[in-house]
Amino acid sequence: MLYKNLVFPKVVDRPFFYTSFVATADGKAYVSKKGYWPIGSRIDYDTFTFLRAHADAIIDGKQTAIRFGKNTIDTIHSEDFGKLRETLGKKEPTAYIVLTKHQNEELANALKNSYGFVPTISGDSIEQIASSLHQKGMRHVFIDGGPHVIASFLKAHLLDEIFLTLAPRIFGNEKNAAITMVEGMLLEPDEIKLDLLSMEQVENEVFLRYRVRH
């Protein structure tokens, strides 16, 4: 298991925010056409799940929740995920938060589930979200996506670590069909600095762990 002895540093006055993405060799994190998902291997997916199991809360933007919210809700209610959290000493259920000021029927339908589980829908700023989660005692928060949410957390200097899997695939692009890990704003060339904490090759994939320098 990658990151088996994972430890996050303590952050004062807010949770530790982190994310995990898989991208192709040409930097594509998602393609809005059938047949392009998943990008990574089963090892990448298991690593992604393991990283999310450390979180007290998972945050999605609206479009990511519409695409993958049902999968996230199923995961956090699965027996395997619960057992994994137990091994990590996590007793409380994982909260699921969707950031949007514009709820609609499409989102409501995407979040319907058989568990009686009601995700938190919030239109607050990410700074307000960080403060609220801290007050609730949440220490580790996983930013699931999408790329506009990641961009906002980076811009606000709230994202602490990025786990990135490089998959041996090349997709290219066509009429804006593909997106990268960060979209919606152009960051300054030296605005975000990353320190490489670890690098591991598993078959043809490379697993990178970066800490964002604040």
pLDDT per residue, tens digit, the chain (214 aa), is: 799 899 999 999 999 999 999 999 999 999 999 999 999 999 999 999 999 999 999 999 999 999 999 999 999 999 999 999 999 999 999 999 999 999 999 999 999 999 999 999 999 999 999 999 999 999 999 999 899 999 999 999 999 999 999 999 999 999 889 999 999 999 999 999 999 999 999 999 999 999 999 8
What 8-state DSSP symbol labels residue 3? T
Cα distance between residue 7 and residue 168, in whole Å: 28
Placement of tokens 């580790």 in the chain: 140
**Cβ atoms of residues 60 and 98 within 8 Å:** yes
Residues 25, 101 contacting (CB under 8 angstroms): no
Q: Which domains does the chain have, with CATH numbers?
A: 53-212 (3.40.430.10)
Kindly provide the b/e burial profile for residues 47-77, where b requires at least 16 CB atoms within 10 angstroms of the residue's own CB. bbebbbbbbbbbbbbbbbbbbbbeebbebbb
Q: Considering the entire predicted model, what is its pTM? A: 0.96
